[in-house]
Structures are given as C-alpha cells and as structure tokens.
Amino acid sequence: MACWINLGDMVKLNAKKFSNTIALKDKKRSFTYPELNKRVNKLSHSLLSLGLKKGDKFAVLLENSIEIIEAYLAAAKTGLIIVPVHFRFVGKEILNIMENSDAKAFIVHDEFIPIVDSIKKDLKNIPPDRYIVVGKKSKDYKEYEEFIRNSTDNEPEISVDCNDPWIILYTSGTTGKPKGVVRSHESYTAFFLINATDFGFNEHDICLNVMPLYHVNSTFYTFLFLYLGGSAYIHPAQQFKAEKILEIIEREKITFISLIPTHYNLILNVSEEAKKHDVSSIGKLLCSSAPVSREMKKLIMNFFSGVELYEAYGSTEAGLVTLLKPEDQLRKLGSIGYEAIGTDFVKLLDKNGKEVSDDEVGELYSRGPMMFTEYYKMPEKTSSSFRGEWFSAGDMAKRDKDGFYYIVDRKDNMIITGGEHVYPSEVQEIICIHPDVFDCAVIGIHHDKWGEQVTAVIVPKAKSKIDEKMIINHCRDKMAGYKRPKHFIFIKDDEMPRTPTGKILHRVLRGRFNSKEV
C-alpha cells in the first residue's frame, strides 16, 4: 500500500528543495536543511550503533532545543520509537514512564542529570553505555556532540512504513495517571497536510515554538513547518517571558505561534514599553490546549492588529478535531468551530449512546485520519475510549443550529450540587472577566447538605485588592443562583496546579481542598 512519505523522508527532500533555507534556529545556532539533515543522519547511525533496532524505544528528557528536534527526526528515519518525557516530572513519575514504555536508551539535558541519577538503579532496560547528555559533560554519560561527531551522514537504509509507530506521547494526566499514546507516521503526515490546507501555511512561514516539545501541540505544529520547508525558532518552554517573546517576534519576523491562554494573558499584561515591539510579521495565531474567554479573544485580536486568530480543539489521541477560523471569531464567540478537514462528523452522545439534539449537552466523539493507534499496554482502556471507530477524550459539548461546537467542560470536572449540574468552565469564564482576576478554577467541594459546594479558586492580578464580596456582586446577575460559587479561595499563580501546557488540574485542587475545612 502506497502512502505519503514521513517527516524523516521529507527533511531529506527539503535538503535538496530548500538548500539555503534555515530549518532550525535558537538563541545561538541555526542550521539549514542540508545541515540539519546531515546532523540527523549522524544521530540516526549513532543510535543504531548502540545496538538499537527498528521498533525499539528510546526516551528523551530534554528542554525545547534543536537536539530534541533531531531526536524526533532520527526516530522517523530509523523506525525507532521516541518517548518524550515531561521535563517537569520527577523521580517516580519518570520511572513510571520509563518502565511502561520499555525505553532502551536515554537522552537527557545536563540540568536533569540529578533527577535521572536518582532513579538510574531502577532503569533495568537501559545499559550503562546508553545514556547521552546534551550540554555539559557528565560522568557515565556520552556527550551528545561527541556521540554523533564520527558517525556517517549517509541516509539510514531502513524501511519505515506509514503505519509504523513513531512516537509514544504520555498524556498530561488531568484525570489520572498518564497514558502512553502510540501515534503512527501516517497520523502525523495527515495532520501536516490537513493543517497546511486549513491554515494556509507554506514554506515561507516562520514558526516560534515555546510549547514543550514533549507535548502533542508542539510535535504537530513545529514539525508541520519542517514538513513544508518552512522555518522553526526553538525557545525553551521554561523560560517563557512575555517581553522576550515579543522581542523574538520582532527580530526573527515570526509569522505564526501556537500559545495557550496563560501565555496570551501574560503577553496582554506586559509593560507599555514592551508593547512597542513590532509584531506586524505575525500573520496567524493559534490558541489551544485550554478554553479561552470571549473577552481575551477580543484583546488578543486588538494586540496583534490584523492577525488571523484560530482556536483549535483536539487531544493527544485524536489530533485536531475542530477549528474556529478567523472569520468566525466574533460571530461565534465561545465556539471551538466545526470539524477540521479530514475529520468525520463529530457526534455528541448521551449516556445511553444516543445522539443529542442541537443545543443539548453530550459527550464529544470523533474519528479521522489523525487518530492515535492505541494506549500502550492498555487494551482495555483503548477499547473503553471508543464507541466503534469513534473516540472520546471525555469532553462535554453542545452544537448550535449552524453546526458550530461549544465545549461545556470535561465530564470528570462536572459539579453536582443539590441535584443540579454545574459546568465549571461556564462559571470560570464569567469570573475571569472581572478586571482584577488573573485566573480562576471552579471545583466542587464536599458538602453534607448539597453533595458538592461550588467553590472558586482565584488568582488575583498583581496589586489587586479583590475580595469575596466583589466576586459575589460580579456574579449575581450573570448566572443562576445554583451556579454561583458559595465559597472562595484566593491563591498565588504559582500555587495553581497546572499541566505543562497550562491546563488547570482540577483533580489536584479537589484533592487539596476537599481535605480541608471550608
């Protein structure tokens, strides 16, 4: 069966087509497509020299860097399967992923060596000579540049099929223990081609990557530009400073960025001096990974004047499901759009598996060519996530008469108080409109009478003097009484538990505050 060529093959082709184009750049380095292709080939042969063979897994614990991009591409060329590890994870969390994935080699940044060393004795699958370090040399680790230096830069002679697995991505764990999502080359190629069409990207675009490169958002969008022959500027995810991002946009003439609402919030609140940076090169922006308020959308479009703003809904498993395009941003405020090209009709099903009518809430199911293969070693979980060929990530949504979808909330986050259903996202959006609120999470706290008490956990803006009474007055005329928070908790931004992509971990908040007197 013929299929589209994978990303590894495409980089080889782009080395001929775009020989003078900068493929990757960071603060200190830049590589053209021919230079990148040669480095990736060297890494490919170096990994194979360790005794790894097609189908074997190797893990990477790396900050956003050119090296992690090269590791992904080497996997694509060799048929090895890359396992990106969350760089905010610690000992036991990393060990769980390493054990589950069967990784046989480990590439790490020097800053993470103390964490890796603390669990090394338990990493039974990895021989002592299969640890590689990016950055400063370290005892018992092969230094990355030395590791690849003497290897040939010829193309690896390994046949990689479109259905072969390329990546095992571990979910963010918003509802429990992270799951290994196996994704094939074909699922990514479908994403690259579909999104190039949906967004109108081409080889002249320059992407700024600040999202963690172990996350599906980054592997989708950063590699999309390498597939097309465009350029990607790689910025460390842990060094996100809004002023610095605006400076890079101006200097590098960035044309596209994918950011989460937290990032946009920080950018919108920069100093007046920082707002003077020229951001006119930005043609398109994507907001994803978490719901964005109506008010924030307006502010983003005002800050980046003339920009085409997109909002995407998807998941690590399903890829891109729906897309709200620029022309609909103000006309369909609050919507996640309609089906992306290549996605079959979305289904909204009730608890009995029957489709709901327009404006009724149901669980969102989708199917399409960007779908994952399976949860690694979890056949029962894989099976339970599907109804036939239709997959659900557990989100509740509704559809209007024009076919536009609206996420209501995650099924697991729904609050039941006095028998009434409350969707936290609806309450959060209203609270976040208040000018003194930086962020908010709404959770259910156990209550003897009502079952659950609607509780707002609020991060005030700097120097704000907001209090409980001000929020009560703000909510009074904007939502039904049973939806209004009955209890308020004020915390600092660094106390709000989040996934690495900015999603608030409601389950962590529920665990934290259900154990306390409220």
Q: Give the end of a domain, one of 147, 168, 184.
A: 184
Residue 318 lies in a domain: no
Whether the predicted pLDDT of 127 surpasses 70: yes
Nearest one of 352, 351, 331 to 400, comparing CA atoms: 331
Residue 341 lies in a domain: no
pLDDT in tens, 137-149: 999 999 999 999 9
* Residue 481, domain CATH: 3.30.300.30
Residue 121 lies in a domain: yes
- Can you give the pTM of this predicted structure? 0.83
441, two tokens: 């999470």
DSSP string, 158-221: ----TTSEEEEEEP--SSSS--EEEEEHHHHHHHHHHHHHHHT--TT-EEEE-S-TTSHHHHHH
Cα torsion at 241, 243, 248, 254 (round to 10°)?
A: 100
Let me know how long the chain is.
518
* Residue 79, domain CATH: 3.40.50.12780
Residue 160 lies in a domain: yes
Per-residue pLDDT, 419: 62
Q: Give the end of a domain, one of 129, 162, 184.
A: 184
Q: How many domains does the chain have?
A: 2
User: What percent of the chain is modeled with pLDDT above 70?
Assistant: 95
Residue 291 lies in a domain: no
User: What range does the domain containing 439 cover?
Assistant: 414-514
Q: Give the end of a domain, one of 184, 219, 243.
A: 184
pLDDT in tens, 285-328: 998 876 677 778 889 999 999 999 999 988 889 999 999 999 99
Read off the DSSP letter of residue 461.
P
Amino acid identity of residue 269, one-letter, is N
Which of the given ranges, 209-218, 407-416, 418-427, has the highest pLDDT on average? 209-218
Rounded distance between C-alpha atoms, residue 291 and residue 311, angstroms: 9
Residue 213 lies in a domain: no
Residue 169 lies in a domain: yes
pLDDT band at 210; cut points 50, 70, 90: very high
Per-residue pLDDT, 226: 97
Residue 109 lies in a domain: yes
pLDDT in tens, 60-87: 999 999 999 999 999 999 999 999 998 8
